[in-house]
A and B are shown apart, each in its own frame.
Chain A
């Protein structure tokens, strides 16, 4: 059965959607040969990310098994994970004077 989203490494907490998802739709997330079903909490476009598990504020966002940023608020499982709830940790000239 085809996946609706792909998670690259088992330790990741976000997955990339392979099609547009409707709010309330069950999303099948493929992780290698395994899969995980979550309910989309938002409408999420193709190519955008869905939270594969609950992510606490301040927690690292993991994709490719690597840190791609940090949650700024609670991101519940199934929510759209993007610039409105994730911040980058790099190239932050806005924080340079504040000792981060």
Chain B
């Protein structure tokens, strides 16, 4: 099996071919959106960070914007800056351009306000789209897939069908030489001892344990029982009772593949195979983190029906809940309710899912892309706003 993707100058492969309009700070979001609304084949990334934060978070904003800019689904990048933010816009532009793609910057305070910045940005973006539209898809091996994993609005069908089916997909992608990135460290709590056994070495297993302890400690430090936050109210309605139960279902997405490495939020894996990335489970932060790490496609399991997508990485919605599949047709892409009903085996469902991933990676649109539900984005911060 193969897929048709866009080969980029740095050797990575895109499954989409957008010009990315990236806001460098919360105060430039409106201008970035204004540009993207006016030019077809562009997409805006906006967020709430980049100012009045501690250095560790500013550094993370810089690194995440670089990662997003380098994502192979973007053919070119236009950065939109206010001008007085803490984000190091020049450094971000320089590091993105090292991947070989065109990068330009518009600064609102320099050009004389948002209207002029949007006008200037629209002209730059138009030229970028003209160039980008010359790109053609070419056959690529599955080893060029970088698959991000996510589960959301889970219920008990997630742990019994959709997450184990994704686990089969993980094993198939890893066998084919591809990369799979799993985050949602909150949803390791209570299952980290099992995931740690996937570690390629005891040290990597220990890193999984430590990452989980760090996330659990963040929650404990707030002085409350995390139930209601994790599992969520919706998870509880769906029958999930504790974070341990949710986690034991969530880690099934890892399949049987060894964990090759553990990374901080948004970092691009330096190895192929299954890797773990620090991130919470909430959609805006993890989808952004996966995109920053270079995911060119994301598979997202859901029980009750989570609608979120991302601006420039296709997000495939998979459910094992037959009611959700029927009831939320405009959000669901792929059903494994057959596994719950006993009419399809997990290996069969996983193989069918691999074909779905290859098809979407070759250009077939997902429900979230079609209905425009693609604005779940923000950068995961560790410190306070100051």
Contact = CB atoms under 8 A, between A and B. Distances in A.
Interface of A: 2, 6, 8, 16-18, 45-49, 61, 63-64, 66-69, 81-83, 86-97
B244 A89 contact: yes
Q: Which of A49, A61, A91, A93 has the most CB of B within 10 A?
A: A91
Interface in B242-273: 242-245, 248-249
Nearest to A64: B248
Contact of A83 (B194, B223, B227): B227
B38 to A, nearest CB: 46
A27 B223 CA distance: 40
A90 B241 contact: no
Given A47-B238, A49-B239, A95-B225, 18 more contacts: A18-B340, A63-B248, A66-B191, A68-B241, A68-B244, A69-B241, A82-B236, A89-B242, A89-B244, A90-B216, A91-B216, A91-B226, A91-B227, A91-B230, A92-B220, A93-B224, A94-B224, A96-B221
Contact of A91 (B156, B225, B248, B303): B225
15 contacts: A16-B160, A18-B340, A45-B239, A47-B303, A63-B245, A66-B244, A69-B241, A82-B241, A88-B190, A89-B242, A90-B216, A92-B220, A93-B219, A93-B224, A94-B223
Interface in B208-240: 216, 219-227, 230, 236, 238-239
Contact of B156 (A16, A69, A90, A94): A16
A66 B248 contact: yes
A69 B246 CA distance: 11
A99 to B, nearest CB: 13
A63 B249 CA distance: 10
Nearest to A85: B241
Contacts of A16: 156, 160, 239
B189 interface: yes
A43 to B, nearest CB: 13
Nearest to B189: A90
Contacts of B342: 2
Given A2-B342, A16-B160, A47 B239 contact: yes
B160 A91 contact: no
Contacts of A87: 242
Nearest to A92: B225
Nearest to B192: A90
A88 B243 contact: yes
Contacts of A67: 190, 244
Given A2-B342, A91-B226, A86 B241 contact: yes
B244 A69 contact: yes
Given A47-B238, A66-B194, A91 B243 contact: yes
B105 interface: no
B239 A6 contact: no
A64 B361 CA distance: 33
B220 A93 contact: yes
